[in-house]
Amino acid sequence: MRAVPRLPARKNRASLCGWWKGTGCSRIFPAVPAEWEDISFTDLRAQGAFLLSATMKRGKVSTVSCHSEQGGILRMLNPFGENRFSVEGISISRINQEKDILFIECE
């Protein structure tokens, strides 16, 4: 087992979940080192009063969940890439995709 380097909390958090002004969307695991194949986080705050949780297994995002504190639309870079994904808890009609960005309408 490899030792995980100790990083300042801010850098660690940014490697797990970030927001980029250029796209205006949240990104899941944007800067996780390749050797961190199995990793997860719970309730990290994202732009727009959203709490995001996610799991990566064998280097691929397997689950993402979102809790909205105020409603609105979560803009998120699709962490699943070309892979199919399923939706629980809301109607699929509340999710739109433009190129590689998901727009998720939350209450």
Over 50: is that where the pLDDT of 11 sits?
yes
> Band of the pLDDT at 7, cuts 50, 70, 90?
very low
Over 60: is that where the pLDDT of 10 sits?
no
Q: Tell me: the pLDDT tens digits for 14-41?
A: 888 888 777 889 999 998 988 889 999 9
Q: Give the contacts of 30 (CB within 8 A, at least 6 positions apart).
A: 14, 15, 17, 18
Q: Tell me: the pLDDT tens digits for 55-87?
A: 999 999 999 999 999 999 999 999 998 888 878
Q: Are 25 and 101 within 8 A, CB to CB?
A: yes
* Distance separating alpha carbons of residues 51 and 67, to the nearest angstrom: 5
